[in-house]
Amino acid sequence: MDKPIWEGVYQDIGEIKAVGAGFSSNTWVDQSKLKVEQYLADLNDSDLIPPVPIRPTSLPLIAAMAKASQKDRKDIIDFGGGLGFSYLSFVQSCSRARNYDYHIIESSGICDLGRESLADHDSLFFHESIADLRIERAEILYINSVLQYIADWKSLLGHLLDLKPEYVLLDDLPAGEIPTFATAQNYYESKIPRWFFNVREIVSYFESRDYCLEYKSTFVAPVLGKIQEKPMSHFPARYRLAYPCTLLFSFKTVASAA
């Protein structure tokens, strides 16, 4: 029998021992390179309507509505954006993409690969830490399927929200009407500690930082190669999450102005 994707229920992520290189492994890096090559091939296609993105993202639509202009360029921060998966979908789908500077925060090795693979994209910047950012205020903070791997996620969000982004978009967030708990994710030879979230806890945190929930939706993405509920039948019923979600927040001054 194959291993389940997730094993165990823990109150704190610190109770779980990480094994292996996880998302720094050669397997993840090699797969990421192949994805970028496919994205770039799609980007050079002349079709008006782009293909379904390899990594589903809501970002292009939100960025299009924010209406950056050539005279009023805006910044997007993509925390944990990998080699630029969401960025390439954004460039392909959003007509205003050229009016944004796009900042990816990643590990040093991924940053080096990203700079090499996407060297001709002069509006794309890779940063190895939040402190490396040299912007006063972001238009959009984007986090796609990353927050669950951050041990102290509230502290991380605190540092990012200090940049006072106008909008915060969370895609593929494993949050729902379940208790917040930690578990171990099996990834090839690795075990990666991670969270599943109570969605109301996430919303309450953003409200405490003066952000309003503007939009909420189920996020549908392939699991084990097909669209399905998360395979969590081996967990007690109260810990099972069928699908992740998308949450969009706006800073209260933006909400008030609207």
**Per-residue pLDDT tens digits for 77-90:** 999 999 999 999 99
What is the structure's pLDDT at 70? Answer: 66
**Residue 136 in tokens:** 């006063």
Structure confidence at residue 1 (pLDDT) = 44
Would 126 be classed as within a structural domain? Answer: yes
pLDDT at 258: 57
CATH code at position 86: 3.40.50.150
> Model's pTM, two decimal places?
0.92
Q: What is the mean pLDDT of residues 231-252?
A: 96
At residue 159, the pLDDT reads 96
Maximum Cα interatomic distance, the chain, rounded to a whole number of Å: 58
Mean pLDDT computed over 193-199? 98
Amino acid at 162: D
d(CA 31, CA 54): 12
Please report the pLDDT score of residue 249 as a whole number. Answer: 98
pLDDT at 46: 59
Number of domains making up the chain: 1
What the block records as the tokens of 63 is 């960025």
Range(s) of the domain holding residue 117: 6-257
Evaluate whether residue 238 is within a structural domain: yes
pLDDT band of residue 196 (cuts 50, 70, 90) is very high
Q: Contact 192/184 with Cβ under 8 angstroms?
A: yes
In a domain, 222, yes or no: yes
Per-residue pLDDT of 135-170, as tens digits, reads 988 999 999 999 999 999 999 999 999 999 999 999
Examine residue 1 and state whether it is found in any structural domain, yes or no.
Answer: no
Whole-number pLDDT of residue 256: 60
